[in-house]
Chain A
Amino acid sequence: MIARLMRQYGTLAATAVVCALLYVIAGVRYEYFFSWRVFFAFFSDNAFLGIAAVGMTFVILSGGIDLSVGAMIGCASIIIATLVEVAGWHPAMAVLCVLVLGTLFGASMGGLIHRFALPPFIVTLAGMFLARGVGFVVHQESISIEHQFYPAILDLPAGLARAAHLSDDAAQLVGLFVQPTAVVFLLVLAVGIYLAHMTRFGRNTYAVGGSEDSALLMGLPVGRTKVQVYALSGFCSALAGAVYTLYTFSGNPTAGTMLELDAIAAVVIGGTLLTGGVGYVAGTLLGVLIFGIIQTAINFDGSLSSWWTRIAIGFLLLIFILLQRLLQRTLGNAST
């Protein structure tokens, strides 16, 4: 029983412990690290990475991989910026349009992967080239977004707090801490957890990732699930692109370069196995938080250069993967 629990939640627990340890160590070392402001910034600063990582979690759970998410963020952000600033669309319409495009894009990649039995790695790689290329074709440089809608959204939490008859000070605090980007991230996360663990789609995803042949023999809709998974990832990365525009008030065709790697790393650190079928969406949140903590700690330190982030993440990845292997081996032996 304990072995089973350990195997099910072991890596998740290890990730949570490492996440908490890193937070405490950084908090003890650096003054002001324990402030609420820094804590909330973990969510708003990493919102677009997190949203993309939630979509990536589903793809990896199904046994696939999606290399196009970073390029999709750049592509989505520049399309939104162009539609708003050049074509004069309302931002809400532009975002809606991009979300539909992203979903269709993901779905067509999933369709290719399933229909022609092509390797996901290659198809999504081509998707990455296409998305990045389309981004550059739309506009080659970054465009800043001046539309009034954007500051209005950022002021929304404070406005709501005032409408709820909170005092001015409290409303200001709410405005400071509750960033719309973080709210979107947490919403996507909640929906992701719901989809993964409480819907038929989620069960199908786990089944397909665990063993595609068995899933097929059980009569599960393997093809439909695969297309849905990639469509979901496309939707998430397009949404991440929209959040990027909200975060930077601009669209940039080079946004999200190499972000697919960070997303995959966050998913793996979160305890999801790249072979598919095993993992938790909640683990991905921890993976993203670990990213955020390391990055913020390095910023706080000031004497460490930014490349230490990558080295630290690489080192953590190594530790986690070895730990996962160890857990699997010892528990696998114990239970048989």
Chain B
Amino acid sequence: MSKTPVTSSRAPVPRIVWPIIALALVLGFNLLFTHGFCQIEVRDGRLYGSLIDIIDRAGPVMLVSIGMTLVIATAGIDLSVGAVMAIAGAVAAGLVAQPDYSVLSNFDVGGSFVIAAVAALLISAIAGAGNGTLVAICGVQPIVATLILMVAGRGVAQLLTSGQIITFENESFAYLGNGFLLALPVTVSIVLVVFIIVSLLTRKTALGLFVEAVGGNPVASRHAGLRSGAVKIAVYTVCGLLAGLAGLIAAADIKAADANNAGLYIELDAILAVVIGGTALTGGRFSLAGSIIGALLIQALTTTILSRGVPVEYTLVVKGAVVIAVCLLQAERFRSMFLHVVRRRT
């Protein structure tokens, strides 16, 4: 790994190369040293194995990081995604299960998962739009604007569940977390569909350009006739919507809505995935594929640590060390300093 910057010194390499190298290193390490890591079993026409597991587990982070990429590309940030996940899970589970203690039992949806899911996604999108309004119209800094919902949102979710964990028995809801589609976990298809839609929208229409323009230079983009406020509200709404979707998957995974722990710290993982994927926090350029690879890298790392039999308590230490290493690799100054040292020696 340490020699890669040398070869890259002449022609500029696309930023996405770094996370791909890191992911390849983690996977290569496992291929060599972890027994049975790359085995994929076929049972009942379904694929099982560590690799499939990584993609499946990374599902919610991947979804959230797609939305987060767009927000960060406008030079914003969304800290509230974890809280929105908790709210979405609580709303959907409460509407489906109708527990007596929850205020949601006042709204009878006849146990229909579709209505519950639509309601949850709608509320998530509204929450995102609220963030966007604070940022775009009130001119509040993104980190503060979304901090509000991050602090209050989990409280709201607990209010909806009355502080209890709402469990549910609903096949179509549970399918979202544990089902299989085309031999793969259904999460994979969801992420793929979302990724394709957002990619097409941002790369085949002018929307992506708008997002980059607003993030790159808000004043210039306004002078160019761009309604930067509308663009900002739109990206925060999409981010909220995708967080809600991730919340539904997380709830479906455990067949319960846990307002305390659903999506806890996911905002940090998602921001990390975006940064590792080569999107700068200062906005402007973005790479959706990079964020996906970043999310996969984080999950691959976690799975590796667990399957290597490293004590769980070291997980965070390793994660922290890798984050710093990847960030340093991407930092222009570190690379040039490194090159300087290497050149002097030879």
Contact = CB atoms under 8 A, between A and B. Distances in A.
Interface of A: 65, 67, 112, 115-119, 121-123, 125-130, 132-134, 136-137, 140, 261, 264-265, 268, 274-275, 305, 307-311, 313-315, 317-318, 321-322, 325, 329
Given A130-B316, A307-B158, A268 B331 contact: no
B226 to A, nearest CB: 23
Given A268-B144, A275-B141, A307 B317 contact: no
Given A133-B315, A311-B156, A322-B138, A112 B324 contact: yes
A125 B156 contact: no
B198 interface: no
Interface string B70-88: 0000000100000000000
B234 interface: no
Interface string B319-341: 11101100110011110000000
Given A123-B324, A129-B323, A274 B317 contact: no
B158 A129 contact: no
Nearest to A309: B155
B271 A130 contact: no
Most chain A Cβ neighbours within 10 Å, of B140, B152, B318: B152
B151 A310 contact: yes
A116 B151 contact: no
19 contacts: A67-B268, A115-B333, A116-B331, A119-B275, A127-B320, A133-B318, A133-B319, A137-B311, A268-B144, A305-B159, A308-B155, A314-B152, A315-B152, A317-B151, A321-B134, A321-B138, A321-B140, A325-B138, A325-B139
Most chain A Cβ neighbours within 10 Å, of B147, B312, B320, B334: B320
Contact of B317 (A123, A137, A261, A309): A137
Contact of B321 (A122, A130, A305, A313): A130
Interface of B: 77, 134, 138-141, 143-145, 147-156, 158-159, 162-163, 268, 271-272, 275, 281, 311-321, 323-324, 327-328, 331-334
Nearest to B156: A311
A307 B275 CA distance: 32
Given A112-B324, A115-B333, A261-B151, A137 B158 contact: no
Given A125-B272, A305-B158, A314 B323 contact: no
Contacts of B158: 305, 307
A140 B312 CA distance: 10
Contacts, number: 128
Give the secondary structure class of B's interface: helix
Contact of B147 (A121, A136, A261, A309): A261
Contacts of A321: 134, 138, 140, 144-145, 148
A-B CB proximity, top 4 nearest: A314-B152, A133-B316, A129-B320, A310-B155
A137 B316 CA distance: 10
Contact of B313 (A122, A137, A309): A137
A305 B162 CA distance: 9
Nearest to A322: B138
B319 A129 contact: yes
A314 B148 contact: yes
Given A118-B331, A130-B320, 10 more contacts: A117-B331, A122-B275, A122-B327, A129-B320, A133-B316, A308-B159, A314-B148, A317-B147, A318-B148, A325-B140
Contact of B268 (A115, A125, A140, A317): A125
B316 A314 contact: no
A261 B150 contact: yes
Contacts of B317: 129-130, 133-134, 137
Contacts of B318: 133
Contacts of B281: 119, 121-122
A314 B334 CA distance: 39
Given A122-B281, A275-B141, A325-B139, A116 B148 contact: no
A313 to B, nearest CB: 5
A125 B271 contact: yes
Contacts of B323: 122, 125-126, 129
Given A133-B313, A325-B139, A311 B159 contact: yes
A116 B320 contact: no
A310 B87 CA distance: 14
A310 B320 contact: no
B320 A133 contact: yes
A142 to B, nearest CB: 14
Contacts of B320: 126-130, 133
A230 B156 CA distance: 33
B143 A117 contact: no
Contacts of A127: 320
A126 B156 contact: no
Most chain B Cβ neighbours within 10 Å, of A65, A129, A321: A129
Contacts of B134: 321
A123 B328 CA distance: 10
Contacts of A121: 77, 271, 281
Contacts of B154: 307, 310
B141 A122 contact: no
B127 to A, nearest CB: 12
B159 A136 contact: no
Most chain A Cβ neighbours within 10 Å, of B139, B143, B316: B316
Nearest to B268: A125
A126 B324 contact: yes
Contacts of B333: 115-117
A184 to B, nearest CB: 26
